[in-house]
């Protein structure tokens, strides 16, 4: 027993010495007492030793407990220290954010004071759509004009401008053809009466009150043969008018001023259609028809109209041939038959025919000509033709087949030198443009084409004197493929917009006369969206939760909603950009609040006399980050943008999207297009976005609703965003600044490309792979001009929108087609940083397997409808100025993270 004790005591002593070397003073004292007690261990009996061992075990347990408590205390102190450190970092970050917010508020206050000062100094009123000033009485009766003076009528001498004030809106009154028939020997064609009545009902200028009318429209009918004797050399196309009936029209006013006598050529043009008014006194009335003699036509007063060959109205895309390839089977074609020329005023054209036949026969090239100068006798109706003129051969279907295979089509001027235009010439022009064959008018130096006072036919036709026939082949071969396609595209544009249907032709006639008077069209009508919530209730607004974001930077001032100035160019548009309106990007039938092509002022004007609204960077001295963030700069006055969000019964996703907009500079309004069958829940609280939020319900679920021109949109810039698109504030503001310099294009983030189908070579495919070229920017995150929302419904063929509805897809591709078609420019992609989809959102339409394949079909179908693929490729992407530039440490880049 003693030996065991003697062996164990040193071990226990060594253990406690190593275990409690770093213990507290209390533990050391207890250990010292234990050691002292063990000095005389040899003299202690076993019982006392047992008691002492128990005591040491108790002391050990006590020390262990104390050590655990000390460790727990240390852990708590560490946690408190970490929390204090995190709080310090949070306070520091909050200070940084507060400093940035204070800076932003200072900028906002400075901009508000500047806007107030500009409002006080402004000496011109804000313009709006013009209020109508209308006459209240019918035209007074005045003596009729002598027939010999009628040929000298012009707008200044035979038109009463007092009935057409600049703010009248140009009201027109249509005489009911069932009541007022000016024909002496026949009834007006029933189709014409019904169609014209229906067509004018769609025209915004029509009025039911004749006392307030500026223009009076009278349907005469159409000229058809009244003398069918083939041996007669007199004019066989005379429509017997009842002059008494015309002059007894209730608002004729004695001389017919402000009246338009409309003669439409519609019957078989192989029979011909002549001048309805030759030898007839029409007073001061204007004449609109297809056939005019030079001595009778009054330039700037009468109007040459195309024949009414098309449908009443509607979508005419199926009538057109594709534009590619540039060169077709036949270099040039002609189909016609000529009656003998027995009048000295008529060309024989014998030498011309021989020259053309020689060109086709002896051509040193591989070019193929289709020249037919004699018609099938079983089809030709020569006895009813104007003497010496060219008739149309074959049926409409057979002629169309040849024209679709022809690069050029030959059109011969009227054989009678006294004619400026005939219905047959206009019919050939109509058929050529419809089929994409470029018209070559020999004798065009003495002919007039439809609406040529506003339409530039030089960009759609080749008009040559007949003496150039020997050089014709050389000229046609000299045109490049790009030129051919440009001619063809312009011809189709003029045909579709102004000639393709009776509605297009009548609307154009009215717009031409209105343009002469410099009267603006009627304001375009916006869509009145149905609010999702009534006036007595709106969802509760709550503060959005804090979200992790990039380090703060001042992106611009927070301002009160500021709508874009509207209708400031009502009277200058026709004067300065009338050519473009008629021949390029516009459409002259109405006026818009703003256009993407409104011109900027010169650089000096922003500081001298026209500075109101401008926010130059550094007050004009320039600058980098700080000065840049305080003002929009650029060549345009200050403005804001509207965000349009299309959503479908995803309130949680929508709420997150609204929360992300909090504090976004330059945001005017958020318009939520609720595409769902059931409306949004009235019990849901929506996060505060920092800008007004309007929720509109649609009549049906359609992706086309994304582009409805709602009256709630009051800014030129519209940011179309999917509800699940994630965009940072700096990306949005940067894209907005880029859009301000490319207002006529789509500017956005997700780029796509139309790639050629290498397997089948039958068209283009939709491509979303990484590429160094792009041709589309998807409108799920892109800026567009407000004008294009109207253009999507007015200029885009209805077949495209119907296709979008059928497949519930491709509205973004359709908008890219439209903008590229109008501008002939590619879109602009901005920045390389964006997150287009949110990973936690529910499954969307684009996640479906068939979605991608349908987009292939969309591109091919849209190209078929429009006749070509208008998309243009670009290798350009917009990044911020100073993006990779090294600048001094005391300066800041325009955007820190872009």
Q: What does the pLDDT look like over 339-394, one tens digit per residue? A: 665 555 566 678 888 999 998 888 888 899 999 988 876 655 443 445 456 778 88
Q: What are phi and psi of 196, to 5 degrees?
A: -65, -40
> Which of the listed residues 304, 337, 372 is the one where a domain comes to its end?
304
Q: Is 207 exposed, middle or buried (0-12, 13-18, 19+ CB in 10 A)?
A: middle
Q: What is the DSSP string of 274-321?
A: --SSTT---TT-EEEES-EETTT--TTTSEE---S-S-SSS--GGGSP
The reply to whether 298 and 321 lie within a common domain is no
| Total length of the chain | 898
List of E strands, 50-107: none
621 part of a folded domain = no
C-alpha of 107 from chain center:
34
- Are 671 and 643 in contact by the 8 Å Cβ rule? The answer is yes
Query: Is residue 517 in some structural domain?
Result: no
User: H/E element holding 530?
Assistant: strand 530-531
Q: Give me the residues paired with residue 765 across strands.
A: 755
Find tokens 């007039």 and name the residue: 448
Do 296 and 332 touch, CB atoms closer than 8 A?
A: no
- In this structure, are residues 172 and 207 in contact, taking their beta carbons and an 8 Å threshold? yes
**Which residue from 43, 291, 293 is spatially nearest to 151, judged by alpha carbons?**
293
Q: What is the pLDDT, as a whole number, of residue 761?
A: 76
Domain count of the fold of the chain: 4
Task: Collect all residues with Cβ–Cβ distance below 8 Å to 200 and sequence separation of at least 6.
Answer: 172, 174, 206, 217, 506
Q: Which helix (H) or strand (E) holds 503?
A: helix 502-516
Domain membership of residue 562 (yes or no) is: no
Residues contacting residue 337 through CB under 8 Å, at least 6 positions apart = 373, 374, 375, 380, 382, 390, 391, 393
> Are the C-beta atoms of 164 and 216 separated by less than 8 Å?
no
Same domain, 58 and 183: no
880 and 786 within one domain: yes
Q: What pLDDT, on the 0 to 100 scale, is given for residue 8? A: 53
Residue entry with tokens 């920092």: 690
Instruction: Tell me: do 745 and 847 sit in the same domain.
Output: yes
Residue 400: burial class (beta carbons within 10 Å; 0-12, 13-18, 19+): middle
**Three-state secondary structure call for residue 31:** helix
Residues of the chain whose pLDDT is less than 50?
A: 1-7, 9, 16-17, 19-28, 224-237, 268-272, 381-385, 387, 548, 834-835, 838-843, 845
Same domain for 215 and 165: yes
Q: Identify the domain boundary among 474, 500, 526.
A: 500
User: 46-51, long-range: CB within 8 Å, 24+ apart, which pairs?
Assistant: 46/1, 46/5, 49/5
Q: Which residues contact 292 (CB under 8 A, 6 or more apart)?
A: 275, 302, 304, 419, 420, 421, 448
Question: Is the Cβ–Cβ distance between 287 and 497 less than 8 Å?
Answer: no
In a domain, 557, yes or no: no
- What's the CA angle centered on 749, arms 748 and 750, to 5 degrees? 120
Q: Distance of CA 496 to CAs 547, 791, 871, Å?
A: 52, 15, 20
Pairwise CA distance, residues 221 & 185, whole Å:
12
CA distance 137 to 467: 55
Nearest-angstrom CA–CA distance, 714 and 712 = 6
Rounded CA gap, 210 and 216, in Å?
A: 8
Give the pTM.
Answer: 0.85
Q: What is the pLDDT of residue 119?
A: 72
791-797-798-799 Cα dihedral, nearest 10 degrees: -140
- What CATH number does the domain containing 684 carry? 3.90.550.10
Same domain, residue pair 69 and 96: yes
Evaluated on CA atoms 263, 509, 459, 433, the torsion sign reads negative
Q: Which domain holds residue 476?
A: 317-500
Residues 666 and 792 in one domain: yes
Is 325 found in the same domain as 447? yes
What is the reported pLDDT for 41?
A: 54
Residues 773 and 886 in one domain: yes
- First-last CA distance in the chain: 86
Q: CA–CA distance from 274 to each of 3, 233, 241, 445, 565 (Å)?
A: 146, 15, 13, 21, 50
d(CA 266, CA 219): 13
Q: Which residues pair with 462 in a beta bridge?
A: 440
The domain that holds 338 is classified in CATH as: 3.40.50.2000
Helices (H), 322-452: 350-361, 396-404, 423-435
What confidence score (pLDDT) does residue 390 get?
A: 76
Closest CA to 355 of 338, 373, 335, 337: 373
338 with 464, same domain: the answer is yes
322 touches 436 (CB < 8 A): yes
Regarding whether 244 and 220 lie in a shared domain, the answer is: yes
580 located within any domain: no
Q: Which residues are known to be catalytic? A: 812
Residues 334 and 281 in one domain: no
Q: Any bridge partners for residue 439, and if so which? A: 409
Q: Is residue 719 part of a domain?
A: yes
- Enter the DSSP assignment of 158: H
500: left (phi over 0), alpha (psi -120 to 50) or beta: alpha
- Report yes or no: 757 and 863 within 8 Å, Cβ to Cβ: no
Residue keyed to tokens 């009443």: 312
Within a domain: 803: yes
Nearest to 130 by CA among 588, 510, 523: 523
Note whether residue 641 is domain-resident.
Answer: no
> Could you give the CA distance from residue 274 to residue 263 in angstroms, rounded to a whole number?
10
Report CA Rg, the chain. 41
Q: Which long-range contacts (CB under 8 A, 24 or more apart) does 233-237 make?
A: 233/342, 233/343, 233/387, 235/274, 235/275, 235/278, 236/274, 236/384, 236/386, 236/387, 237/272, 237/273, 237/274, 237/275, 237/291, 237/386
Cβ-contact 114, 225 below 8 angstroms: no
Q: Which of 514, 614, 454 is nearest to 161 (CA)?
A: 514
Considering 86, 121, 156, which residue would you say is the last residue of a domain?
121
Q: What is the DSSP letter of 269?
A: T
pLDDT at 403: 96
Structure tokens at 124: 């011109």
């Amino acid at each position: 027993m003693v030996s065991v004790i003697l062996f164990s005591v040193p071990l226990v002593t060594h253990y406690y010495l190593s275990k409690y070397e770093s213990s507290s003073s209390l533990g050391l004292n207890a250990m010292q007492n234990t050691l002292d007690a063990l000095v005389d261990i040899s003299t202690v009996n076993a019982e006392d030793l047992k008691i002492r061992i128990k005591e040491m075990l108790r002391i050990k347990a006590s020390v262990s407990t104390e050590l655990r408590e000390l460790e727990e205390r240390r852990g708590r102190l560490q946690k408190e220290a970490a929390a204090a450190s995190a709080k310090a970092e949070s306070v520091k970050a909050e200070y940084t954010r507060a400093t940035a917010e204070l800076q932003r508020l200072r900028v906002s206050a400075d901009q508000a004071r500047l806007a107030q000062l500009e409002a006080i100094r402004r000496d011109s009123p804000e313009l709006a759509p013009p209020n109508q000033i209308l006459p209240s009485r019918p035209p007074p009766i005045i003596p009729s004009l002598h027939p010999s003076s009628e040929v000298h009528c012009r707008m200044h001498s035979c038109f009463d401008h007092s009935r057409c004030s600049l703010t009248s809106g140009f009201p027109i009154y249509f005489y009911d053809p069932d009541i007022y028939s000016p024909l002496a020997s026949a009834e007006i064609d029933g189709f014409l009466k019904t169609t014209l009545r229906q067509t004018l009902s769609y025209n915004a200028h029509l009025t039911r009150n004749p006392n307030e009318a500026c223009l009076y429209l009278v349907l005469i009918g159409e000229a058809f043969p009244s003398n069918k004797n083939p041996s007669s050399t007199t004019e066989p196309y005379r429509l017997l008018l009842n002059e008494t009936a015309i002059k007894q029209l209730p608002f004729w006013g004695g001389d017919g001023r402000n009246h338009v006598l409309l003669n439409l050529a519609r019957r078989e043009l192989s029979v011909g259609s002549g001048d309805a008014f030759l030898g007839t006194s029409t007073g001061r009335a204007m004449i609109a028809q297809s056939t005019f003699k030079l001595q009778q036509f009054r330039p700037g007063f009468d109007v040459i109209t195309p024949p009414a060959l098309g449908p009443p109205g509607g979508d005419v895309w199926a009538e057109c041939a594709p534009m590619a390839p540039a060169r077709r089977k036949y270099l040039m074609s002609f189909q016609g038959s000529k009656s003998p020329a027995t009048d000295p005023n008529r060309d024989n054209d014998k030498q011309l025919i021989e020259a053309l036949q020689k060109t086709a026969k002896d051509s040193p090239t591989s070019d193929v000509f289709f020249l037919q100068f004699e018609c099938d006798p079983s089809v030709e109706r020569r006895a009813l033709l104007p003497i010496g003129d060219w008739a149309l051969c074959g049926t409409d279907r057979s002629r169309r087949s040849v024209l679709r295979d022809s690069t050029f089509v030959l059109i011969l001027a009227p054989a009678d030198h006294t004619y400026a235009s005939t219905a047959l010439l206009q019919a050939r022009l109509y058929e050529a443009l419809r089929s994409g064959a470029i018209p070559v008018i020999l004798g065009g130096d003495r002919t007039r084409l439809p609406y040529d006072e506003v339409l530039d036919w030089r960009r759609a036709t080749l008009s040559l004197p007949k003496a150039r026939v020997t050089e014709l082949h050389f000229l046609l071969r000299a045109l490049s493929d790009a030129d051919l396609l440009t001619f063809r595209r312009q011809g189709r544009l003029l045909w579709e917009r102004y000639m393709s249907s009776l509605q297009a032709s009548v609307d154009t006639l009215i717009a031409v006369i209105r343009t002469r008077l410099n009267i603006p069209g009627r304001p375009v009508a916006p869509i009145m969206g149905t609010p999702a919530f009534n006036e007595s209730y709106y969802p509760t607004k709550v503060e959005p939760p804090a979200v992790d974001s990039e380090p703060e930077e001042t992106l611009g001032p927070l301002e009160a909603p500021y709508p874009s100035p509207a209708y400031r160019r009502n009277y200058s548009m026709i004067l300065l950009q009338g050519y473009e309106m008629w021949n390029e990007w516009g459409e002259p039938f109405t006026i818009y609040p703003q256009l993407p092509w409104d011109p900027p002022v010169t650089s000096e004007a922003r500081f001298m006399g026209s500075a109101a609204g401008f926010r130059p960077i550094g007050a004009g001295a320039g600058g980098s980050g700080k000065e840049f963030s305080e003002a929009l700069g650029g060549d345009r006055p200050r403005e804001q943008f509207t965000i349009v969000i299309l959503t479908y019964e995803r309130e949680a996703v929508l709420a997150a999207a609204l929360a992300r907009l909090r504090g976004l500079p330059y945001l005017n309004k958020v318009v939520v297009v609720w595409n769902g069958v059931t409306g949004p829940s009235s019990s849901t609280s929506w996060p505060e976005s920092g800008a007004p939020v309007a929720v509109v319900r649609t009549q049906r679920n359609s992706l086309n609703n994304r582009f409805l021109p709602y009256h709630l949109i009051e800014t030129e810039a519209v940011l179309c965003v999917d509800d699940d698109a994630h965009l940072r504030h700096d990306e949005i503001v940067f894209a907005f600044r880029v859009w301000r310099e490319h207002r006529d294009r789509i500017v956005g983030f997700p780029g796509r490309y139309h790639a050629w189908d290498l397997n089948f070579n039958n068209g283009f495919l939709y491509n979303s792979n990484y590429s160094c070229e792009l041709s589309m920017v998807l409108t799920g995150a892109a800026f567009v001009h407000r004008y294009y929302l109207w253009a999507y419904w007015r200029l885009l063929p209805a077949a495209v929108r119907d296709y979008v509805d059928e497949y519930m897809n491709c509205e973004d591709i359709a908008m890219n087609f439209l903008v590229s078609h109008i501008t002939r420019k590619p879109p602009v992609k901005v920045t390389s940083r964006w997150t287009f989809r949110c990973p936690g959102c529910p499954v969307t339409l684009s996640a479906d397997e068939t979605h991608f394949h349908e987009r292939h079909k969309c591109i091919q179908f849209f190209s078929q409808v429009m006749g070509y693929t208008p998309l243009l490729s670009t290798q350009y992407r917009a990044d911020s100025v100073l993006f990779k530039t090294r600048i001094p440490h005391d300066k800041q880049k325009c955007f820190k993270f872009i």
